[in-house]
Amino acid sequence: MQIKDVYFSIGMLILSVVVPGMYLVRTLLKGRAHHARTDADGGSVLLNKASMEMGYWLLGPVVEGLAALHITPNMVTFFSLVPALLAAVAAGFGWFGLACVLATLGSLCDLVDGVLARRTGVASDAGEVLDAAVDRYIEFLFLAGVAVYYRTHWMVLSLALAALFGSFMVSYTTAKAEAMGVEPPRGSMRRAERAVYLLTAAGLTPFSRVLFANTPSHALRELPMVFALILVALLTNVSVVQRFVVIAAALRARRAPTPAPVTGSALIAERDTPARPV
């Protein structure tokens, strides 16, 4: 299966070349594909705006097709759990190429449901809550599968668990800030960024296994996945600390008493009061 797993990675590699090529041609002919969400988000250092625009442009025909078939956003949301669960099983067996394909499908469904909801005019707070809950399940399933695969390698297992913890804490701090009425800081390694880095690593790992097949080092044979876990584990937990600092500072500033304004009569009284002898 490990050799056949490379075929899935080859397919993803071809798509990763063809799709940007198509978008480049589209950009040269018509300009960049602007989208309301990407314009509002603006991208980040780890996932730039152009990449996000390309993703939404790619999903445009899919959304139109689903709307024509009267597929609801909730149907797409629940369906995304199916490839996510299969991706977790594949990752648990170390079939990272297959896991990359399945998890990418689940992540694309996660993008489609929100766009479809806005396209069909059924976006709601209840749908957003459901989408956020399913997002947590999808992310947990993939990292749980990775953790199961590395269960006999305690150092990499620790990285997978740290990445899982950091991922959930980033989402928790955002939700906590919103609940407290504080503008949540952007930070780094948000959900889209984590998905891109982890799925890219999953797709590259089968190539690494072939390239370093005769190397005794397990970490070297699976270098892309190990590197991605280090990156996600480190940056998510650093981001969590930064977010808590910003949120705490905002809450303290909001609770700080404001000095009472000095009235004209108070100024006169203060001026007429004799100085205290030293």
Domain spans, the chain: 2-254
Backbone dihedral region for residue 187 (phi beyond 0: left; psi -120 to 50: alpha; all else: beta): left
Could you tell me which residue, 260 or 139, shows the higher pLDDT? Answer: 139
At 39, the pLDDT band (50, 70, 90 cuts) reads low
Would you tell me how many other CB atoms lie within 10 Å of the CB of residue 244? 15
Q: What does pLDDT average to over the chain?
A: 83
For residue 18, what pLDDT is reported? 87
Domain with residues 2-254, CATH architecture:
Up-down Bundle (1.20)
Using the predicted structure, report yes or no on whether residue 269 has a pLDDT greater than 80.
no
Q: Where are the beta strands (DSSP E) in the chain?
A: none
Instruction: Give the tens place of pLDDT for each residue, 47-77.
Output: 667 777 777 788 788 888 988 888 998 899 9
Measured distance CA(271)–CA(67) in Å, rounded: 74
User: Six-digit token pair at 91?
Assistant: 């990752």
With 0-12 / 13-18 / 19 or more C-beta atoms within 10 angstroms meaning exposed / middle / buried, residue 147 is: buried
Name 117's Cβ contacts closer than 8 Å, sequence gap at least 6: 73, 123, 124, 127
This model's pTM is above 0.85: no
At 112, the pLDDT band (50, 70, 90 cuts) reads confident
With 0-12 / 13-18 / 19 or more C-beta atoms within 10 angstroms meaning exposed / middle / buried, residue 52 is: buried
What is the dihedral sign for C-alpha 241, 148, 91, 107?
A: negative
**Which of 40, 72, 71, 78 minimizes the C-alpha distance to 56?**
40
CB 136, CB 194: distance < 8 Å: no
Helix (H) or strand (E) holding 206: helix 191-211
CB 125, CB 114: distance < 8 Å: no
Could you tell me which residue, 56 or 100, shows the higher pLDDT? Answer: 100
For residue 177, what pLDDT is reported? 83
User: Six-digit token pair at 52?
Assistant: 């996000």
At 276, the pLDDT band (50, 70, 90 cuts) reads very low
CB 240, CB 46: distance < 8 Å: no
Stretch 146-175: mean pLDDT: 92
CB 56, CB 33: distance < 8 Å: yes
